[in-house]
A and B are shown apart, each in its own frame.
Chain A
Amino acid sequence: MKNSVILYPDYKSETSMSQKVLLNATEVQIALHRLACQLIENHDTFSNTVLVGIQPRGIFLAERLKTMLQEEYEIKNIQLGYLDITFYRDDFRRSEKPLEANKTQLNFVVEDKKVVFIDDVLYTGRSIRSALTAIQDFGRPLEVELLTLIDRRFSRHLPIQPDYRGRQVDAIGDEKVKVCWKENDGEDAVYLMNS
Chain B
Amino acid sequence: MSTAPLLDVRDLEQRYTLPRESLFRPPGQVRALNGVSVQVQAGESLGIVGESGSGKSTFARVVMALERPTSGQVALLGRDLNRLPPDELRRARRDFQMVFQDPYGSLDPRQTIARIVAEPLTVLEGADRTTFRDRVAAVLRQVGLRDADMDKYPHEFSGGQRQRIAIARALITQPKLIVADEPVSALDVSVQGQVLNLMQDLQEQFGLSYILISHDLAVVDYLCDEVAVMYLGRIVEQARPEDLFERYAHPYTRALLDAVPRTRAGGGRRRRGAQAIASQSAAATGCPYAARCPLADQHCRDALPELRRMGEGHLAACHKAEAVMALPQTVMEG
A, B in one complex: no
A residues at B contact (CB < 8 Å): none
